[in-house]
Structure 1
């Protein structure tokens, strides 16, 4: 049987790839098909590389997170020495604030995505909102330092609240008794330079170490004094920055209360965490 192309007499073929290559380079169909095939091959290669590299990327992210946590701890006045003395291991965990337990369904890598959902935020009633937040996230990432036998020796708790000039963000470090301040680091603020802005000075932050937070009955007693500290629950105020000090007081009290880390601290005190 003669398998020639009846239009030009050349040998025909049933191979679609050869038929495609036989088309003129100016052919629109050939251009579209080749472009599609190249895109599909590139997409497959990229997808394959992503799958193969994912474990390496996850390991790198974990290492970067661990280094960031260690740097954060060492940035808190007095924490570098404590970290070296403990010989423990820093870890990070996402907490469900309502239950005070680990949010197993929200790993640290997924926290940002979870908090992009408005449904994962709780609107605060005015009587609850002493920190001036309006709403607070349902999930928060905290950092724990554990000793060789797994006991928590240091808990790092992110805080946020409203100061005089705007939002204040900080990390509060608690000792193993969960009632004594090991240190604090103010990580962001908009307070007045030279006045409330002094809350980011290491000398002022160092005054938090050793301050008690709750009285024996469990009531949060911490406060920034209007002047020099006068008791176990107070830290020195900053001259001319009464409203900033009040904002820090309310921020700490809110986050140690029932709408903040209260359930977590209670669970840890019972040895359930």
Structure 2
């Protein structure tokens, strides 16, 4: 009996030591690879910004992405309440999503305000500018909001008139493949460039409709084909754009730019 107990005890000790060793290896690998994971996330974000701005393709090498981003993109922190830049913040290090989780650095949204279903909106965020000799050429704005199953994270690029869309797409979501997941379909994303997100008075005016856009309609420039079989995801896209391009989002900032401020 004692031999049996000793055998069971020895087995448990060996199992414990194996588990402990594996835990140490896994934890060490996680810590050791963290800088590389952060760098890869940053690279992926930069790639998406460049693709949506029309400055690179999705297959661009890491070296090419870094070169074009550093040459063409200027990141700045903007205060969403005032619409003005805050150059006391380091745009390269500022994390808007982390700020949104901090009650001291964000705003809790009421039911009527939270049309994008994000619960809290950061007080400050990062925008991305492409500038030329004559000033702003393209403005890239981060947007997010809930679809059917997940929060969609993406960017919208506006041309220098601040109403014409240069590009739009999402880099993170968990929508249903083949349905809401079609927000990743290049054919759907290709429908956005040239559309107008605002009217001549600067009022938000872009809608993902149900079905296909009538090209002969006077409203065609403000409409995009819906996602077949994914009404709730299409509605989510409408809601998040309405939020981020409206008064709770980048509205004050865009008003400043249109007035020649900042």
Could you say whether these structures have the same fold, taking a TM-score greater than 0.5 normalized by the shorter chain as the test?
yes
Pick the aligned partner of 1:267 from 229, 236, 256: 256
The alpha-carbon deviation at position 71 of structure 1 amounts to 2.9
Pick the aligned partner of 1:71 from 24, 47, 53: 47
Pick the aligned partner of 2:142 from 158, 172, 175: 158
Deviates further, 201-210 or 112-121: 112-121
The alpha-carbon deviation at position 68 of structure 1 amounts to 6.7
Q: Cα–Cα, structure 1 residues 91 and 236, in superposed 2: closer, same or farther, change >3 Å?
A: same
How many residues are matched?
205
Pick the aligned partner of 1:135 from 120, 126, 129: 120
Listed as ranges, the matches of 1:179-198 within 5 Å are 179-198=163-182
Q: Cα–Cα, structure 1 residues 140 and 77, in superposed 2: closer, same or farther, change >3 Å?
A: closer
Alpha-carbon distance in 2 for matches of 1:74, 1:112: 19
Alpha-carbon distance in 2 for matches of 1:271, 1:218: 14
Q: Cα–Cα, structure 1 residues 103 and 180, in superposed 2: closer, same or farther, change >3 Å?
A: same
Residue aligned with 2:235, SS: helix
2:206 paired with 1:242: no
Alpha-carbon distance in 2 for matches of 1:172, 1:112: 18
Pick the aligned partner of 2:162 from 155, 162, 178: 178
Alpha-carbon distance in 2 for matches of 1:117, 1:142: 20
The alpha-carbon deviation at position 109 of structure 1 amounts to 4.3
Runs of 4+ in structure 1 displaced over 4 angstroms?
A: 67-70
Q: Deviations over 1:71-116 (max 9, x none)?
A: 33432284439xxxxxx83200011100111122322245239726
Determine which structure has more spread, i.e. the larger CA radius of gyration: 1
Q: Which residue of 2 aligns with 1:5?
A: none
Give the root-mean-square deviation of aligned CA atoms: 2.6
- TM-score (ref. length: structure 2): 0.71
Q: Deviations over 1:237-264 (max 9, x none)?
A: 1110111001001111110101100011
Alpha-carbon distance in 2 for matches of 1:247, 1:69: 22
- TM-score (ref. length: structure 1): 0.68
Residue aligned with 2:202, SS: coil
